[in-house]
Amino acid sequence: MTRAGLCTEEDIEQLVTHFYAAVRQDAVLGPIFNRHIDDWPSHLSKLVDFWSSILRGTARFRGAPMPAHQALPELQPELFQRWLRLFAQSCAAHTNAAMSARAMEVAPRIAQSLWLGWQQCHRAGLPEIPLMPMEAL
């Protein structure tokens, strides 16, 4: 299967829309996202580009996730874990199981990398706090 054959743009739009609707309703993550994001349509469009680049190899994404997350002062491992649990729920609810499986391989690795980068920025010299493995969430 080519990478573009894994899923359609519509599949990705559905996943991103479902996930960020859940995020915005989440008691803990919702207020953080709503504090930092003024323009939701533009955020969702950027996230569709992000996942399209990863899952379909379209190379459309032009952002910089590491500095964007390092600029969020309130990040903690529990927040990444909560993000991953919600993302897993949105993936499980999607009709394209192959796409969801791939997204769930990639998302924990990106979360780990963003959390490591955040700690290097905000906890330099302190012991690294690991994220819990996905199976334990």
Q: Which residue has its beta carbon closest to ligand HEM?
A: 63
Does position 75 interact with ligand HEM (CB under 6 A)? The reply is yes
Tell me the DSSP string of the chain.
--GGGS--HHHHHHHHHHHHHHHHH-TTHHHHHHHH-S-HHHHHHHHHHHHHHHHH--------HHHHHHT-TT--HHHHHHHHHHHHHHHHHSS-HHHHHHHHHHHHHHHHHHHHHHHHHHSTTSPPPPPPPGGG-
Does position 107 interact with ligand HEM (CB under 6 A)? The reply is yes
Does position 44 interact with ligand HEM (CB under 6 A)? The reply is no
Choose the binding region for ligand HEM from 7-15, 69-77, 92-100, 124-132 (rule: CB under 6 A): 69-77
Footprint of ligand HEM (CB under 6 A):
29, 32-33, 36-37, 46-47, 50, 63-65, 68-69, 72, 75, 79-80, 83, 107, 110-111, 114
